[in-house]
Amino acid sequence: MAATSTGGLPGVPLHAPLSAKYRDTFAFPTIKDRCPVILCKVIDHLHRERNNIGRELGPEAMEGLYKVVEELSKLRYEMQTNKPIVDLIDGVGNADIWNKYLKEQKESESNPSWFTSTWLWVECYMYRRITQAINLTGVKQLKGLDYFRQQKEEGYHGSLPSMKQLGAWLLPQLAKLSPDTQQQTWATLVQVCLWGNKCDLSISAGDKAVATGDPVIALEQLQENILTNKTGEAWQCLMNKGKGATVDIVMDNSGFELFTDLCLAEFLVASGMASQVNFGH
């Protein structure tokens, strides 16, 4: 869980885990601004929607929301004031794994905290604490409540025109697949999947994130922003499998990003490069 710096940024040791203590890295604005904004928007959303949630899930759920908001407000304060990372206390699911990892971090650094510890696991910990906020209410009706449902739906509907354009490009490609065109189609779809990540709600701090324009045509202008490209090596790996491989796609978002992954999976199966594509998160 340690994203690292290998580019030699000033003030950041080579291969050091990225942390908010390094102000010139992505980690610092993530913990200082982006994550607190995400929490603030969740809190505001629950305030606005508590009556609707109460009508849908019952008065016990609406009462539980007050406890959730209180817990999330506490979490936001801990983050902004760089308090130590604390154990999970809900005892649900993977809580023991998280607490074991925190214990290991305490052995390698004296006082794991929001601005000093490795950014990636700290941000993931924030989302686990959001889940804990619901678990601590003990209200069964709130289990599975999606704080980000509205933003996801807005992102999906706003991206529909781009999805249709991508689909209109893909269908003719699948109809005329040949050994000469397969690798280029693969490279195009991988890049579309790459840039689909711009619609990630976490990166946008919970703002509506939609795809606009033709995603294939846009690739030409985005080429210069790719730091490294191993699509050729990945294609050769598939070729070495002799077709019929199983490909696993790890997803981290819904909406447009999911659609681009589905397009890639359709190509892999239609071309015979994969006999099965598994989706996981």
Lowest mean pLDDT among 41-45, 149-153, 221-225, 261-265: 149-153
Mean pLDDT of the chain: 86
Which of 126, 142, 158 marks a domain boundary? 142
In a domain? residue 221 = yes
In a domain? residue 17 = no
Q: Diameter of the chain by CA atoms?
A: 62
Supply the pLDDT for residue 156.
Answer: 82
If asked whether residues 182 and 122 sit together in one domain, one would say no
Strand partners for 17 = 4
Supply the pLDDT for residue 102.
Answer: 96
If asked whether residues 130 and 200 sit together in one domain, one would say no
Supply the pLDDT for residue 122.
Answer: 95
If asked whether residues 167 and 267 sit together in one domain, one would say yes
> pLDDT band for position 219 (50/70/90)?
confident
Which distant-in-sequence residues (6+ apart) come within 8 Å of 21 by Cβ?
28, 115, 116
Q: Please report, for the domain that includes residue 67, its CATH number.
A: 1.20.930.60
234-245 per-position pLDDT tens digit: 999 988 887 778
If asked whether residues 168 and 244 sit together in one domain, one would say yes
Lowest mean pLDDT among 68-77, 106-115, 154-163, 268-277: 154-163
268-279 per-position pLDDT tens digit: 999 989 999 998
CA dihedral of 31, 36, 38, 44, whole degrees rounded to 10:
180
If asked whether residues 129 and 190 sit together in one domain, one would say no
Supply the pLDDT for residue 209.
Answer: 56
Supply the pLDDT for residue 195.
Answer: 86
If asked whether residues 102 and 43 sit together in one domain, one would say yes
In a domain? residue 19 = no
Distance CA(148)–CA(125), nearest Å, equals 17
Supply the pLDDT for residue 206.
Answer: 47
Is the CB of residue 67 less than 8 Å from the CB of residue 136?
A: yes
If asked whether residues 158 and 120 sit together in one domain, one would say no
If asked whether residues 166 and 256 sit together in one domain, one would say yes
* Amino acid at the residue 199: C
Q: How many domains does the chain have?
A: 2
In a domain? residue 249 = yes
Distance CA(132)–CA(130), nearest Å, equals 5
If asked whether residues 93 and 188 sit together in one domain, one would say no
> pLDDT band for position 80 (50/70/90)?
very high
In a domain? residue 74 = yes
If asked whether residues 187 and 254 sit together in one domain, one would say yes
Average the pLDDT over 215-234 and give the result: 88
Could you give the C-alpha distances from 155 to 147, 189, 198, 210, 218, in angstroms and in order? 14, 20, 11, 5, 19
Of 156, 245, 274, 269, give the one whose Cα is nearest residue 209: 156
If asked whether residues 46 and 158 sit together in one domain, one would say no
* Percent of the chain predicted with pLDDT > 90: 46
Of 20, 22, 23, 17, give the one whose Cα is nearest residue 2: 17
DSSP 3-state assignment of 113? strand
Which of 142, 169, 201 marks a domain boundary? 142
Supply the pLDDT for residue 5.
Answer: 46
Q: Does the structure show a pLDDT above 90 at 14? A: no
In a domain? residue 251 = yes
164-174 per-position pLDDT tens digit: 999 999 999 99
* Amino acid at the residue 264: L
In a domain? residue 124 = yes
DSSP 3-state assignment of 272? coil
Which distant-in-sequence residues (6+ apart) come within 8 Å of 213 by Cβ?
162, 165
In a domain? residue 11 = no
Supply the pLDDT for residue 200.
Answer: 56
Q: What is the span of the domain harbouring residue 227? A: 149-280
> pLDDT band for position 126 (50/70/90)?
very high
Which of 142, 172, 196 marks a domain boundary? 142
